Amino acid sequence: MKRDNIKYTIGEVQQHKLIEFGLDIKDAFIISYLKDMKTWKTILEKSVDGDNYMWVDYQKLLTYLPALKINSNDVLSRRLKKYEALGLIKRHLHKNLVYGSYNFIFLEEKFNTLFEFNKIEDNEDEIEEMKKKMGLLGQQTPHPTQKSCGFDSKVASTPSQKSSDNTPINILPQKDSSSTKGNPAAASDEIILKTIKELIVRNGFKNYNSQTLKNIKNYSKGSVGEVEKVIEFMKSKNKPLNSKILVAILKDKDHRIVESIDLKKITRKEKITFMVKNLGESEIRSMRNSILKNIGYECQGVDDDLGNQLCKKYNKLKTQEVLYEKKSEKVIV
């Protein structure tokens, strides 16, 4: 096939590869989507036989690409089966007793061949000819260092080590340690203050000074863990990440006040999700088998009863947690 007059890529896939594998334009955009998933900051993965499979949310994919006019998960599933038959991907079906099945995929090495990673470069003779025309013959132009940009590249750049305020460590002025060398307590305080500073900087606090850091250390009694708890408390309450507010909460111990949970406001689905995560699949399966044994046959009532039991366990657990925290609060006070 002559390739001179055809578009080289469809989506991000080489068009001649689409033709070679018997794929179409819709496949090109689905495959490009799967490739882009590898670059996402957060993806749900599962290890199967040493390979990391990615969860593919069918509905999310179809919503993202409405022009495909694929209105059914089954249609999309058939296309992924075709990719598997071609050796481009491997599929894995993850089954959950409560919420059903989830589709995971692993991108095979053959998948990479669908894309063009090589930089398109001009012919050397053409470059020399253009230099001649421009009067630039003999002039040496420094060539930039090539960097790997393929999505499957295993080469990663190693950043230079930097301090918490982004200053290269090798140019930081050296501190005179003589003032703390013979004073372990002073050295310990300095370490705590430094750790607190790094913690609040990492969490986005900006308006602080040396006195603020000392107040945080004093009101937390030198406990970095206590400071972390307050920061989490502030985030959960959507409070501004302000160092003065942090100091005030530490001083008044607002983060230790136990709030009663209104169990009626927690949805059934939220309760079940929480308990499934905490109990684990093995325990859930054991509970379901016990219910199935009592009922005597497979039916919707088995899962309904399982959900009821999980909700009861959630209510009991949260009630016990509140009682325990209230007792702990009395001891602290």
Closest by CA position to 88, among listed 70, 112, 56: 112
More confident residue, 152 or 284: 284
Please give the pLDDT value at position 127.
Answer: 72
Return d(Cα 57, Cα 77) in angstroms, integer.
Answer: 11
* Torsion angle defined by CA atoms of residues 127, 129, 130 and 135, in that order, rounded to the nearest 10 degrees: 120
Return d(Cα 255, Cα 237) in angstroms, integer.
Answer: 10
Report the CATH number of the 9-112 domain. 1.10.10.10
Confidence of residue 24 (pLDDT cuts 50, 70, 90): very high
Please give the pLDDT value at position 120.
Answer: 45
Please give the pLDDT value at position 27.
Answer: 96
Q: Looking at mean pLDDT, say which of 90-104, 257-271, 314-328 comes out highest.
A: 90-104
Widest pairwise Cα distance in the chain = 91
Please give the pLDDT value at position 274.
Answer: 85
More confident residue, 115 or 329: 115
More confident residue, 1 or 306: 306
Please give the pLDDT value at position 249.
Answer: 87
Confidence of residue 191 (pLDDT cuts 50, 70, 90): confident
Please give the pLDDT value at position 39.
Answer: 86
The domain spans of the chain are: 9-112, 181-256, 263-332
More confident residue, 25 or 234: 25
- Tens of pLDDT, residue by residue over 228-266, are 888 888 887 788 888 888 888 888 877 665 555 677 788
Mean pLDDT for the stretch of residues 24-31: 95
Please give the pLDDT value at position 34.
Answer: 95
- 294 and 251 Cβ atoms separated by less than 8 Å: no
Please give the pLDDT value at position 185.
Answer: 54
What six digits make up the tokens of 23?
A: 């794929």
- 128 and 135 Cβ atoms separated by less than 8 Å: no
- Tens of pLDDT, residue by residue over 45-100, are 999 998 999 999 999 999 999 999 998 999 999 999 999 999 999 999 998 777 78
Q: Decide if pLDDT at 150 tops 50.
A: no
More confident residue, 102 or 144: 102
- Tens of pLDDT, residue by residue over 110-132, are 999 998 754 444 556 667 777 77
Return d(Cα 307, Cα 101) in angstroms, integer.
Answer: 17
- For the ranges 8-22, 65-79, 177-191, 194-208, which has the lowest average pLDDT? 177-191
**DSSP assigned state of 249:** H
Please give the pLDDT value at position 157.
Answer: 36
- Tens of pLDDT, residue by residue over 194-239, are 888 888 888 888 778 889 888 898 888 888 888 988 888 888 778 8
- The string of DSSP codes covering 33-92 is HHHHHTT-S---EEEETTEEEEE--HHHHHHH-GGG----HHHHHHHHHHHHHTTSEEEE
Q: Decide if pLDDT at 19 tops 50.
A: yes
- Tens of pLDDT, residue by residue over 276-310, are 888 888 888 889 889 988 888 888 888 888 989 99
- 26 and 79 Cβ atoms separated by less than 8 Å: yes
Please give the pLDDT value at position 147.
Answer: 38
